[in-house]
Amino acid sequence: MSKHATRVTAALLGAALLAAGCGANPEEAEGVLDSQQPKGTTAAQAKDQALHDRLPGKVKQAGKLVSVNNGSFPPYEIAGPDGRSLTGAAADMSEALGQVLGVKIEHVTVDGLPSSLTGIASGRYDFAIGPVGDFRDRQKSNDFVDWVKEFVVFAVPKGNPNKIGSLTDTCGLKISVMAGGSAESVIKGQSRTCAEEGKPKINVQSYKDQPTSVLAVSSGRADAFFSSQAPLTYFVDQAGGELELAGKGQSNGFDDLYQGAVVAKDSPLRDVLKDGIQKLMDNGAYDKIMDKWGTSDNKLDQAGVNLAKS
> CATH fold of 31-149+259-305, please?
D-Maltodextrin-Binding Protein; domain 2 (3.40.190)
Q: Helix, strand, or coil here: 280?
A: helix
Q: Tally Cβ neighbours within 10 Å of residue 103.
A: 19
**Which pLDDT does position 78 carry in this prediction?**
86
Q: How far apart are CA 91 and CA 105, in angstroms?
A: 9
Spell out the per-residue pLDDT of the chain, length 310, in tens: 444 444 454 445 454 444 433 333 333 333 333 333 334 456 799 999 999 999 999 999 999 999 998 877 889 998 776 756 789 999 999 999 999 999 999 998 888 888 999 999 999 999 999 999 999 999 999 999 999 999 999 999 999 999 999 999 999 999 999 998 889 999 999 999 999 999 999 999 999 888 899 999 999 999 999 999 998 998 999 898 999 999 998 999 998 899 999 999 999 999 999 999 999 999 999 999 999 998 998 999 999 999 998 7
Q: Answer for the pair 20, 209: CB distance below 8 angstroms, yes or no.
A: yes
> Which residues have a Cβ under 8 Å from the Cβ of 209 and sit 6 or more positions away?
19, 20, 25, 70, 71, 72, 112, 178
Domain residue ranges of the chain, discontinuous segments joined by +: 31-149+259-305, 152-246
Q: How far apart are CA 84 and CA 81, in angstroms?
A: 8
**Which pLDDT does position 26 carry in this prediction?**
33
**Which pLDDT does position 195 carry in this prediction?**
98
**Which pLDDT does position 199 carry in this prediction?**
98
**Which pLDDT does position 42 carry in this prediction?**
63
Fold agreement (31-149+259-305, 152-246): yes
Q: Give the residue among 173, 164, 167 at the shortest CA–CA distance from 204.
A: 173
**Which pLDDT does position 247 carry in this prediction?**
96
CATH for 152-246 (3.40.50.20, 3.40.190.10, 3.30.470.30, 3.60.70.12):
3.40.190.10
Q: How far apart are CA 15 and CA 20, in angstroms?
A: 8
